[in-house]
């Protein structure tokens, strides 16, 4: 049976870390660190997390998991991008249909929040993308009412390597310069690969990572994601458009 790895997972606080998932600590929105994280870990906040599944070249990706109206911590280290969220489930929302319905709606929402708090007590939503899994790093910048700053990580499913079972993690970060954050992730990921896998790289791949390690700047893309690709170029257009949010 296919492993249903989806990057994000709810686990009890204090769960030991593994290769697939980080380990939450007892403090809210925090994770256990690893030696390869280094000493320059950057933290910021995300208000929404979304996981998409790659369905094939030229086909739109499919949303398989989504958390909205949250405040998740996002950590960028020398070996991974990780997220942690203690309040990941706010319960169902009932919108009032008129002034008279407002007290009922408020009471319903209060009960929903109480039930949600009990469900998540002692648990945390966690996930990470290790740099060797990366296929692409992309970003959007807010350009209107329907857009926001988002970091996008395209990755090969570590249980089923290759494009067929690849996934996309969108991290919405309205108050973060995602253009610079994407460059930082690209620099760190490239340096990680050059440090750990240099002897296994053919010359053209090593040259590609050396270029990315310089953190080249790319311009935002209207209605899509400006992207860096870790697969050796050229990237098939039918594949690139999926990770860039065009297809």
Write out pLDDT tens, residues 86-133: 998 854 343 443 444 434 433 334 444 444 454 556 799 999 999 999
**CA-to-CA dists, residue 98 to 94, 101, 106, angstroms:** 12, 5, 12
Confidence of residue 166 (pLDDT cuts 50, 70, 90): very high
Could you tell me the CATH number of the domain that includes residue 172? 2.30.29.30
Confidence of residue 222 (pLDDT cuts 50, 70, 90): confident
Could you tell me which residues are beta bridge partners of residue 8? 127
Domain annotation covers residue 2: no
Chain mean pLDDT for the chain: 85
Confidence of residue 72 (pLDDT cuts 50, 70, 90): very high
Q: Which domain holds residue 239?
A: 8-94+110-243
Determine the average pLDDT of the residues in 63-92.
90
Report the candidate in 5, 119, 116 with the shortest Cα–Cα distance to residue 51: 5
Domain annotation covers residue 3: no
Total domains in the fold of the chain: 1
Domain annotation covers residue 67: yes
Instruction: List, edge to edge, every strand of the sheet that includes 123-130.
Output: 8-12, 123-130, 80-85, 62-76, 42-53, 167-172, 150-155, 134-140, 226-229
């Amino acid at each position: 049976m296919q492993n249903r790895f989806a990057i994000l997972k709810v686990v009890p606080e204090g769960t030991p870390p593994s290769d697939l998932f980080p380990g939450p600590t007892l403090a809210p929105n925090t994770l256990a660190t690893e030696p390869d994280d280094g000493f320059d870990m950057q933290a910021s906040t995300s208000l929404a997390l979304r996981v998409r599944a790659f369905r094939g070249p030229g086909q739109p990706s499919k949303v398989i998991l989504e958390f909205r109206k949250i405040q998740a911590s996002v950590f960028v280290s020398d070996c991974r991008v990780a997220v942690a969220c203690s309040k990941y489930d706010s319960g169902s929302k009932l919108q009032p249909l008129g002034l008279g319905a407002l007290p009922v709606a408020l009471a319903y929402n209060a009960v929903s929040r109480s039930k949600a708090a009990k469900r998540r007590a002692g648990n945390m939503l966690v996930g990470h993308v290790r740099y060797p899994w990366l296929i692409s790093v992309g970003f959007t910048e807010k350009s209107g009412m329907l857009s926001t700053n988002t970091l996008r990580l395209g990755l090969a499913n570590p249980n089923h390597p290759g494009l067929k079972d690849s996934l996309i993690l969108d991290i919405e970060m309205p108050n973060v310069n995602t253009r610079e954050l994407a460059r930082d992730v690209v620099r760190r990921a490239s340096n990680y690969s050059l440090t750990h896998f240099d002897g296994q790289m053919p010359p053209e791949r090593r040259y590609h990572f050396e270029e990315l390690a310089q953190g080249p700047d790319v311009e935002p893309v209207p209605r899509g994601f400006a992207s860096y690709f870790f697969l050796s170029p050229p990237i098939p257009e039918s594949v690139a458009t999926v990770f860039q949010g065009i297809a």
